[in-house]
Amino acid sequence: MNYLNHFLNNRLKIKKESKYSLIIGETPSKGARSPKLWNRVYKAQKSRIRMYPADVSKNNINNLLRFLKNEKNYLGGSVTAPYKVLIMKYLDNIDKNAKKIGSVNTIVKNKNKLSGFNTDFFGSLEAIKKIKKQKKILILGAGGAARPVILSLTKKFKNSEFIFYNRNSNKIKNLAKELEIKNNFKIIKNLKHILNIKDFSLVVNTTSVGFDSWVKKNKELFNLKFFTPFSNLIKIKKIKSKNQSKFINKNKELLMTDRMNIKNFFLNRPNIEFFDIIYNPKKTKLLKFAEFYGNKIYNGLEMNLTQAVKGFMIVNKSNSYDFIKKKMINNG
């Protein structure tokens, strides 16, 4: 256990008398937002508690958690990729929502027990708050990141029909069973078939790479039949503002290499709303396309912020949602 003592006391610069929280992951020290957000709140509370990134290898997760169980100053914290699923088997208790979702992003220590929670569900609910009632929802992806989003969609849109784009129909059926989805749903394996669906009004992207994943998996859509020259785009959409002109100039390559027949997918559905769970970049290629054609767009920033607020509240036993959120946003 010597390496853990060195890890906590030297690398993290934690004073022995100070309470602390951690974000555990493979390399959270290389850009994870949680320490910055949590520490803004700790400072506003004039607390000596701080959150630190804990870079740990897959083979040392169990050792780290066993150590933290007996660490009197460890409060809990966050879990990030790629350990949200793996870490569950090393915890003493798992919240029912986290069990259903199948992953944990928050750990709370109580005495010598570690409990796992998933606040992505609450983040998803907040992110879709402004989205109006939907008849049909197109969902792209069905991986770990999709589960809390889909669960939140089933809670808000109980009467909506879900259309899943995924090549593995068994995966979708198992997901529907595990999440206890009662909505009607259908599965589309071929991206071309999406072009034939005319009445969905919400597109939700839960894949980690957004629009680019469609490109790599559907090379047949690169042919001339699905190609929209840049010159035609100018004719299709009248440029009404300097902002649109700037968008075109900055994204000529993106617009010229239309992978899904933009005219059919976007222009014939002017009232579609698009939600992408990715928050960095703020606008993925999917959202850029959607916004260019006048559709409402939502990124994953609100989802990420809310899950951080909820995680802070659970770990630090606080009920001050508005205060915590304000401090995380404003840093003041």
Catalytic residue among 69, 84, 136, 317: 84
Two tokens, residue 199: 């009445």
275 Cβ contact partners less than 8 Å away, ≥ 6 residues apart = 127, 128, 131, 202, 203, 204, 205, 297, 298, 299
Residue position matching structure tokens 């698009």: 274
The structure tokens 């008849």 sit at 135
Cα 227 from Cα 102, distance rounded (Å): 40
Closest CA to 142 of 87, 208, 88, 82: 208
Could you tell me if 275 and 128 are in contact, meaning their C-beta atoms sit under 8 angstroms apart? yes
Residue 113 β-bridge partners: 110
> Please, is 107 exposed, middle or buried when counting C-beta atoms within 10 Å of its C-beta (0-12, 13-18, 19+)?
buried
Q: Is 250 one of the annotated active-site residues of the chain?
A: no
Active site residues: 84
